[in-house]
Structure formats: structure tokens, C-alpha cells
Amino acid sequence: MTPFALDPQALHGCFVTGTDTGAGKTHVSAALLHWCAQQGWRSAGLKPVAAGTTLIDGRLTNDDVQALRQVSSVRLTDAEVGPLQFEAACAPEIAAALERRLIDPATILSAALHVASRADVIVVEGVGGFCVPLGPDWDTADLAVALGLPVILVVGLRLGCISHALLTAEAIRARGLLLAGWIANTVDPDMAHIADNLASLHHEMTRRHQTPSLGVVPWLDTATPAAVAAHLDATALKRVFTASPSYRPSSPEKTT
């Protein structure tokens, strides 16, 4: 069930999901924001639901929210990037229950529209995998449908990634969403037969879903947004961000 929905023309950008927790969604989302800013677009990150905070200088901070906020070319507050942040580093529905809070769809809707009003493109990072419960009757797949953005799938390269990727791709397309592309991210530097796994992923994602690869990110000791972005396919990314009829980047001016 999708409990709410936006006008399909309301947002422009992408929704980043992953094959699992730890697939590299935040590194890729930050890299996409960096790449968008390099195109001269006002770019803004949004992490609608974030679980796991650390007390730093007297305030609770979420690493993913910080990563997206720091690389956004539009100046945003922590609350704007991460409207729903929870202390416990666990499944978001459980983290919310521990604080006797709800993950409210209306809050996310309002946050998305607010951030989008200040930017040419937004990069929305999901939480965990694609079908993570956010309440008793909705999940992150419903959130993606409600936002209506093209989906970029981050495939964490580890044993089992081929099945995880294909199952997630099927779930995305079953909900009527555009699977705009996939990005392989090396999370296990010692993974055996990486080249063969990549070849299989390319073949199956093309055969089953006609979905292009947007890049292959190797193991990086320092995965800065610029370093990750260097391994993305700029030509393919431009097609993703300009294909939508709501494409509207209009000014190279950077808001600081």
C-alpha cells in the first residue's frame, strides 16, 4: 500500500536504494550529489529516515545525514536533510518504537517538497534495502513509489550479490518504478571472481531489465564523493538526470 503520493512533476532527481544494508548507498548518494554539483546544478541530499546517532559536541549526529549535507551544493540543516532521525542503530521501525515515535509519511512528503523547492536536483537515499518496514502498513518501497523518482540500485559486491540484485530489481519494477541504472560497489576487497560476477550482473540486468550499469566502484581506502564519482559513467548519468519530463536545472549558480 502507498499511503501518500506526490505529483510526478514535483521532484527531479533520483532515489538511491541498495541490495542490503552496507551496500554503499551513502557513498554513492554523496558521489551523485558531487557529480550533479559539477554539472552546475543546485543539488540537495535527503535522507528521509536515518537510524543510528552519535553524540558529538552536545548534539546527536547521524553519519549518513552529515555526509549528504556536506556535499549538497545547497546549504541545508541537519533537520532538512534528515527529517526523521533515531538514536538506535537498528531497523527504523524498531528504532522509532523505542522512542515512541512514528515514521510519518506526511513529514517525509513535506521534507521532500521543501528540499526540492531549493534545488534543481535531489538525491534521496533510502534506508537499508528496498522493502524495509517503516510502519505497520507501509515500507521503503511505498516511499519510493510515493516520491516517484527514477531508482538507482547500488549493488554491494559480495558473495550472493547477483541474486540480491536481481530480486531487488524485480521488486522495483513490480511497483511500476523506473529502474534507471545500477552501480556496483566493492564492499569486500577479497571477493573471489569479481570480474565474473560483474559480467553476470551486466548480462542479467540487461537481459531481464534492460537496465544499464552506471559505474563500478572499486575498493577505496578513502571513499570521498569525488573519488567515488570518478568511477561513475558520466554519459549514462546525464541520461538518468535529464530523461524525465520534469527535468529543470536552469542555473549554474551555487547557493552557499
Positions marked catalytic: 47
CB 82 within 8 A of CB 127: no
Which residues are within 8 A (CB) of 113 and not within 5 positions of it... i.e. 6 or more apart? 6, 10, 11
Q: Which of 118, 56, 106, 54 is nearest to 81 (CA)?
A: 118
Cα-based angle 145, 73, 185 (whole degrees, multiple of 5): 60
Q: How many CB atoms lie within 10 A of CB 202?
A: 16
51 Cα distance to chain centroid: 15
